[in-house]
Chain A
Amino acid sequence: RKEVEQDPGPFNVPEGATVAFNCTYSNSASQSFFWYRQDCRKEPKLLMSVYSSGNEDGRFTAQLNRASQYISLLIRESKLSDSATYLCVGGGGSARQLTFGSGTQLTVLP
């Protein structure tokens, strides 16, 4: 079983729609969690950190449930520019290394 699992999609949604991504993790050594965004053939970039209290950054809302080992990302009013692969990531270990899920591909359609 992978340490971080997420639905690979693809998710194809119309512009303006709300889309939710879910992720589960099994490695209790992961202490911190993040969502990264990766455009085609580009490097991953940090989208936002994820906290148990939930956090919001504009149209993006992330939530962590440690008891269920579950992480979510909600994108409201999706834009064409949101099209990318979204990676669920756990951080931990002595080197604070990142453990990535396989990614969920999102395409926002005009």
Chain B
Amino acid sequence: DAGVTQSPTHLIKTRGQQVTLRCSPKSGHDTVSWYQQALGQGPQFIFQYYEEEERQRGNFPDRFSGHQFPNYSSELNVNALLLGDSALYLCASSLVQDAYGYTFGSGTRLTVV
């Protein structure tokens, strides 16, 4: 049973560029949440998607956007990259009726230069 799969694992981008990160949820899960983890910090909630809609959003600017597809997979898009966007981006999937049954992917490490 595959867990949460994220791609790519590592990425280097230049300031001002745009990036798309991808996540395939654990089999059977219908909800995808995205978190940003800066070095030395805990993960911070970006947003959550359920039924292809953004269900809740954390304190992140509109440069951060997402999408969920009918197969429950999800993308995180970040526009106009800043150096401060360098972080580990974690995807967590869950089942909407299992409130805290999150499974995290191993993340995408984004470096902005």
Given contacts A95-B48, A95-B56, A97-B58, whether A46 and B102 have CB atoms under 8 Å apart is: yes
Verify A96–B100 contact, CB threshold 8 A.
yes
Chain B min CB distance to A89 (Å): 8
Besides the contacts A95-B48, A99-B45, what 12 more A-B pairs have beta carbons closer than 8 Å?
A: A43-B90, A43-B107, A44-B90, A44-B104, A45-B104, A95-B55, A96-B100, A97-B45, A97-B56, A97-B58, A102-B42, A103-B41
Verify B100–A44 contact, CB threshold 8 A.
no
Chain B min CB distance to A88 (Å): 8
**Chain A interface residue count: which class?**
20 to 34
Verify A103–B42 contact, CB threshold 8 A.
yes
Binding site for B on A (CB under 8 A): 4, 8, 32, 34, 42-46, 49, 87, 89, 91, 93-103
Most buried by A among B42, B43, B102, B104: B42
- How far, in whole Å, are A49 and B98 apart by their CA atoms in the complex? 14
- How far, in whole Å, are A107 and B29 apart by their CA atoms in the complex? 34
